[in-house]
């Protein structure tokens, strides 16, 4: 989980306490993903439990300082060197919406795509405007913020490209007279299907099975 | 109060007749104000290029009216229209369209020379336009000596030189890499923020997002428009 690893990476720079760690996390990620201080303390408890940090002194203001252990430092190194694995089972609400909508008779799926495209485009415009207000970074804080904004911009762009692609796919299908399936299909068999292993989303999609 | 630079009222365009007739645009209503950049998006064949050439007075609509800088072009002679285009409109193309035998400054001042400006005045206006795209130090260079991004910036300077105030851009970043494309867009945006108007045809959503308004075309019709809200709404109060 990136908050856990990020807090650990910040502690690798020196001892700190909960409230300050929260401020550091938000500063370093451009305040794009605010977290509450309770989440920070839960994370610190788990990091301490796992032997990655230790509780240290308390200052005169009552702040409890935490320090990273050797195991914690190794964990930071491993995290930075490893690729991020995206959870394959995460449901994509938009993909599910289109997939279901295309099977429903009487639904104007082209209009669904249009409405979504305009919404995502507005988001992309807002992100672009935000980026342009500080596109010449003068500090690592600003650079970090721009990296986050760029990431959100490219995600929005990717969604628009996928919507455009879907739009032309749907138009071709319509030209071929492909209609939505009307009746509810009978399940193939009753009961829980036997499964020897749990397929990933990508495997399920490749096999033509229903995404979980 | 902002000035209206372009208005399309119920513009339609059909090519061919009878069974071979093809409709490129249907009932387009579109207004561009000074200080506004509008991007036009849509699939190939959706009518984007036709819209741009009609907005630029290069193609005549089958029906509807085009008003450029307050002038109804349907009532103008070809000569009057040519003068209006030269004085009011600037075109920016994907492949720059600079004249290789002319320097950057000569390319920029060419429309002014054609409009019989005095040499000293056109030179001053050309240098001002090149300064606005940070290329005044390249005024004496020929296009072949300039990078793609620099050539497109010269094209933008040519599009806004003198009294020109409406920029019509057809895929202006299409031949440029991502970073150079953003540099060019920044220049274009800067000119718009300084009071010009721009209409930009693009396939690239990330580049269209630089516009104040985005118009979507499908089969010659406007099927949607999006415009910006506040970045703070999106990113929260953190920044």
Q: Domain of B39: which CATH number?
A: 3.40.50.300
Same domain, A132 and A164: yes
The percent of residues above 90 in pLDDT, for chain B, comes to: 66
Same domain, A103 and A166: yes
pLDDT at A164 over 70: yes
Residue A190 inside a domain? The answer is: no
Residue B53 inside a domain? The answer is: yes
From A81, A115, A150, the end of a domain falls on A81
pLDDT at A178: 79
Number of domains observed in the structure of chain B:
1
Which residue numbers of A have CB closer than 8 Å to B's CBs? 26, 30-32, 34, 114-115, 117-119, 121-130, 132-133, 135, 145, 153-154, 156-157, 160-161, 164, 167-168
Residue A212 inside a domain? The answer is: no
- Give pLDDT tens digits for B64-103: 999 999 999 989 999 999 999 988 999 988 888 999 999 9
Residue A210: band (very low, low, confident or very high) from pLDDT cuts 50, 70, 90? very low
pLDDT at B88: 92
Residue B84 inside a domain? The answer is: yes
The more confidently predicted of residues B101 and B183 is B101
Instruction: Say what the ipTM of the complex is.
Output: 0.80
Same domain, A73 and A126: no
List the CATH number of the domain containing A56: 1.10.10.10
pLDDT at B138 over 70: yes
SS3 content of chain A, % helix, strand, coil (to 5): 60, 5, 35
Residue B178 inside a domain? The answer is: yes
Same domain, A116 and A60: no
**Dist. CA A146–CA A141, nearest whole Å:** 9
Q: What ranges in B89-173 are assigned the alpha helix state H?
A: 104-114, 119-132, 148-160
Which residue numbers of B have CB closer than 8 Å to A's CBs? 43, 186, 189, 205-206, 208-211, 214, 216, 223-231, 233-236, 238-239
From A24, A46, A81, the end of a domain falls on A81
Q: Which residue segment(s) compose the domain that A177 sits in?
A: 93-182
Q: Which residue segment(s) compose the domain that B149 sits in?
A: 4-228
Residue B73 inside a domain? The answer is: yes
**Dist. CA A6–CA A79, nearest whole Å:** 9
Q: Write b or e for each residue in A90-118: b if 16 or more Cβ atoms lie within 10 A of its Cβ, otherwise e.
A: eeeebeeebeebbeeeeeebeebbbebbb
**Dist. CA A212–CA B28, nearest whole Å:** 44
Round the CA-based radius of gyration of chain B to a whole number and report it. 18
Q: Between chains, do B226 and A126 touch, taking CB under 8 Å as contact?
A: no
Residue B239 inside a domain? The answer is: no
From A59, A81, A103, the end of a domain falls on A81
Residue B137 inside a domain? The answer is: yes
Q: DSSP string of A125-174?
A: HHHHHHHHTT-S--SHHHHHHHHHHHHHHHHHHHHHHHHHHHHHHHHHHH
Number of domains observed in the structure of chain A:
2
Which residue in A114, A126, A153 is closest to B224 by CB distance? A114
Total-model pTM? 0.78
Round the CA-based radius of gyration of chain A to a whole number and report it. 24
Q: Which two tokens stand for residue A139?
A: 């500090």
Q: Are B9 and B63 in contact (CB under 8 A)?
A: no
Same domain, A170 and A107: yes
**Which residues on neighbouring strands pair with residue A129, listed in sequence order?**
none
Which residue in A124, A135, A168 is closest to B209 by CB distance? A124
Does residue B17 sit in helix, strand or coil? coil
Q: Which two tokens stand for residue B222?
A: 């406007």
Residue B238 inside a domain? The answer is: no
Phi, psi of A16 (to 5 degrees): -160, 175
Residue B197 inside a domain? The answer is: yes
């Amino acid at each position: 989980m990136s908050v856990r690893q990020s807090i650990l990476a910040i502690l690798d720079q020196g001892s700190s306490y909960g409230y300050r760690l929260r401020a550091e996390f938000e500063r370093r990620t451009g305040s794009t993903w605010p977290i509450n201080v309770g989440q920070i303390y839960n994370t610190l408890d788990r990091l301490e439990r796992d032997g990655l940090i230790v509780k240290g002194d308390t200052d005169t203001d009552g702040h409890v300082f935490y320090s990273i252990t050797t195991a914690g430092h190794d964990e930071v190194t491993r995290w930075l060197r490893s690729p991020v694995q995206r959870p394959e089972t995460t449901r994509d609400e938009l993909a599910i919406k289109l997939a279901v909508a295309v099977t429903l008779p009487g639904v104007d799926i082209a209009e669904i795509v249009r409405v979504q495209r305009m919404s995502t485009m507005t988001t992309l415009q807002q992100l672009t405007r935000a980026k342009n207000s500080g596109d010449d970074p003068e500090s690592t804080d600003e650079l970090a913020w721009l990296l986050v904004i760029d990431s959100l911009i490219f995600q929005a762009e990717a969604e628009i490209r996928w919507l455009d692609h879907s739009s032309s796919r749907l138009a071709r299908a319509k030209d071929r007279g492909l209609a939505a399936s009307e009746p509810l299909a009978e399940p193939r068999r009753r009961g829980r299907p036997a499964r020897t292993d749990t397929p990933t989303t990508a495997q399920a999609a490749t096999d033509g099975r229903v995404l979980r | 109060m902002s000035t209206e630079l372009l208005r399309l009222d119920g513009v339609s365009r059909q090519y061919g007749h009878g069974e071979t007739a093809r409709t490129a645009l249907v009932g387009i209503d579109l207004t561009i104000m000074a200080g506004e950049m509008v991007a036009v998006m849509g699939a190939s064949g959706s009518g984007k290029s036709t819209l741009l050439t009609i907005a630029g007075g290069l193609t005549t609509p089958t029906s509807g009216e085009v008003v450029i800088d307050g002038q109804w072009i349907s009532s103008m002679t070809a000569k009057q229209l040519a003068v209006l285009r030269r004085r009011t409109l600037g075109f920016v193309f994907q492949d720059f369209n600079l004249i290789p035998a002319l320097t950057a400054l000569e390319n920029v001042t060419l429309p002014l020379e054609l409009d019989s400006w005095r040499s000293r005045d056109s030179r001053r206006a050309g240098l001002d336009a090149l300064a606005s795209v940070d290329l005044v130090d390249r005024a004496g260079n020929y296009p072949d000596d300039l990078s793609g991004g620099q050539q497109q910036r010269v094209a933008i300077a040519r599009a806004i030189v003198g009294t020109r105030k409406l920029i019509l851009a057809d895929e202006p970043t299409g031949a440029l890499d991502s970073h150079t494309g953003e540099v060019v867009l920044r220049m274009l945006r800067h000119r718009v923020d300084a009071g010009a108007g721009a209409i930009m045809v693009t396939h690239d959503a990330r580049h269209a997002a630089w516009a104040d308004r985005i118009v979507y075309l499908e089969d010659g019709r406007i099927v949607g428009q999006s415009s910006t809200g506040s970045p703070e709404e999106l990113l929260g109060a953190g920044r």
